Amino acid sequence: MKIKKILSLLAAAAMTVTSFTGAMSVSAADIVDTGDCGDLTWTLDSDGVLTLSGEGEMASPKITGSIVQGDFLDIYEYKDHMNEIREVVIEEGVTLIGYCAFYHFPNLVTVSIPSTVTTFPYTSNNSNENRAFDSCTSLKNIKLADGLTCIGDKAFYGCTSLESIVIPSTITYFGDHAFSDCTSLKNITLTEGLKVLGGAFNNTAVENVYLPSSIETWNATSAYDRGGISGPFRNCTKLKSVTFGDGIKEINVTAFEGCYSLEELSFGDNSQLTKIERAAFNNCTGLKRIEIPESVTTLEATCFSLCSSVQTVYLYSRTLDTYNLPDNAMIFAYPDSAASGQKSCANIENAITSALNDLKTAVKEAEKYSEEDYTTASYGVLKALLNEAATKDDESHVLGMKHLTEDIYAAIEGLRDKSEEPSSSDPSDSSNPSDSSNPTDNSSDPSNSSDNNNQSQSPNTPATPSTSAPTTATPKPTTPPTVTATAVKPAKVKAVKVKAKKKKLNVSWKKVSGATGYEVQYATNNKFTKGKKTVTIKKNKVTLKKLKPKKKYFVKVRAYKLASGRKYFGKWSKVVKKKTK
């Protein structure tokens, strides 16, 4: 051991022993070892806490190719104790963390990084690679202070025990695979100011994400002269919802490839989005509904490849063709658009009108309930939703209106009598979020159709809350009474008539009392497994267009009723067979 280490140990030992009235006390953790690392000093105590202190940068090795667990012992002498280290504390004054500084420390649990560390990358040899905490499989706690602007490539790659991370608001750049293969990572929060997303979160367990408007590129490219392509959320198989900031201009290659749990894709009223690149949502096999804004001018090949479950696409652009949309989807587009010339399309204006009418019906229902009769918290939720509904018009997006309609019915069910409101001195507030339930959950409803009634709730993140309502969760319903399926389930559709036209079928049927709308399903075989399409309409007639000539089709109809934010379906009608002219 070096002389300076011995002196440091003696000094540390002297500091731990004090005398008071003849008694001696020793610090809880003794110094085990100490040394230098560039401009810094490191100290390891008997509790497994490694502390780096001083001012300036850690020493950093040159990148020489592949690395192994014990590399760079001559620079990072504390690696002799890598199996003992449980916590790393980097003190204020340190400005840079070295390449592979804590690579593959198997028992490291906690890391604290100060505000003076502004960047993670090791920039020698034109590389952005850092790998400071790569493969620290026990790492659970990361404390990142504001001031950090960049997290380089593979900085926390393969930290499989990490479950959540709070990203500082000062972050502007993520390198490729910064948190990739952190297979337990569920919670991340990205804030405005982020410019380069990189392939940061591949193969994580993240479930919901908000993407800030400030993102300029999805690839770790020009900022550090690196090339390459890597989707930021590729193979995040548990990702359920994504909220896109309204300043995002494009969705990059493989951005969400293999996100099996993503069911719905909506970009809201984003007027900046122009391009969805190849394989952006490739193999998202759970995706059922897509809404594409008017501003999108380019859908690249394979952007929705292998999205085999897509049922509905709402297309607001009048110029975008439909070649690269899923073949099995019902497409709603404007009648005079380029889209209508590519694939069979329904009229999106009808879909918008239908969604708007449903929303107006929900608003009228909500207006029956007076603010003075219900608790401040429960009525506040409903009032905020009504305020949002007042901003909707016939140019609103369908999915947004559908979610708002469901939320209004849920808020009605959540209204609580004013007598239940706790006084300000009452410590037990019964509106605790843990008491909330989801009144729109109809998974147990036997009349529920998994193909048509599995709409996810709008993503809700700190950056873009779905409403301005109080944060109190919707309480359990007490009034009005719970609506049961048997009370609202519409009758079976009867008297279905199908008339053949040239490449068309005119379908009509007898109106069902109390029905909100109807679903018409048609296919080229009587088992409805070939060429199946579904049309949702309000009227009791519809023209099925752009069919194959002289082709036999099978048609059936069922009614549905919307109640308390749920769709209740009646039985299918008898199947009618008809051949087009």
> What pLDDT, on the 0 to 100 scale, is given for residue 336?
84
| Domain identity same for 93 and 36 | yes
* Digit-coded pLDDT (tens) for 331-354: 999 888 877 777 778 999 999 999
Per-residue confidence (pLDDT) for residue 206, from 0 to 100: 94
What are the tokens at 36? 């230098």
> What pLDDT is stored for residue 419 in this prediction?
67
C-beta of residue 73 within 8 angstroms of C-beta of residue 59: no
Q: Is residue 338 domain-resident?
A: no
Q: Check residue 467 and give its pLDDT.
A: 33
In a domain, 241, yes or no: no
Distance (Å, rounded) from C-alpha 120 to C-alpha 131? Answer: 9
Domain membership of residue 267 (yes or no) is: no
Q: What pLDDT is attached to residue 70?
A: 65
Peptide bond between residue 480 and the one before it cis (omega within 30 degrees of 0): yes
* Best CA proximity match to 33, nearest among 77, 73, 87, 93: 77
Residues 476 and 494 in one domain: no
CATH number of 515's domain: 2.60.40.10
Half-sphere exposure of 364 (CA within 13 A, CB side): 6
Is 96 part of a structural domain of the chain? Answer: yes
The answer on 513 and 469 residing in a single domain is: no
Which H/E stretch holds residue 387? helix 376-389
Helical (H) or strand (E) element with 4: helix 3-16
User: What's the pLDDT score for residue 4?
Assistant: 43
Q: Is residue 325 part of a domain?
A: no
**Same domain as 385, residue 477:** yes
Q: Tell me the C-alpha distance between 345 and 535, whole Å.
A: 10
At residue 427's C-alpha, the angle toward residues 421 and 433, to 5°, is 65
Where would I find the H helices in 332-413? 348-366, 376-389, 398-413
467 and 516 part of one domain: no
What is the CB neighbour count within 10 angstroms for residue 245?
20
Do 547 and 495 sit in the same domain of this protein?
yes
Work out the number of other CB atoms within 10 angstroms of the CB of residue 323. Answer: 11
In a domain, 128, yes or no: no
Rounded to whole angstroms, the Cα distance separating 122 from 546 reads 59
Say whether both 396 and 359 belong to one domain: yes
Let me know whether 356 and 477 are in one domain.
yes
Place of tokens 């018409």: 520
Query: 271: how many CB neighbours lie within 10 A of its CB?
Result: 12
Is residue 122 one of the residues assigned to a domain? no
Same-domain pairing of 39 and 106:
yes
Euclidean distance between the first and final Cα of the chain, in Å? 95
pLDDT in the model for residue 420: 60
Here the tokens at position 252 are 């990059």
> Is residue 11 situated within a structural domain?
yes
* Same domain for 496 and 469: no
Q: What is the mean pLDDT of each run of 10 residues along the chain (581 residues)?
A: 44 42 50 89 95 89 67 86 95 90 94 90 57 94 91 91 90 89 92 87 92 79 42 92 86 91 85 88 93 91 92 90 85 85 83 92 91 89 91 83 90 80 46 36 36 36 34 36 50 93 93 88 88 88 92 92 72 92 92
Block residue for tokens 């009791």: 540
Amino acid 488: pLDDT: 56
Residues 371 and 494 in one domain: no
Which domain range does residue 408 map to?
Answer: 351-419+432-482
pLDDT of residue 385: 93
Taking residue 428's Cβ as centre, other Cβ atoms within 10 Å add up to: 6
- The residue among 100, 117, 134 that closes a domain is 117
**Same-domain pairing of 452 and 538:** no
**How many domains does one find in the chain?**
3
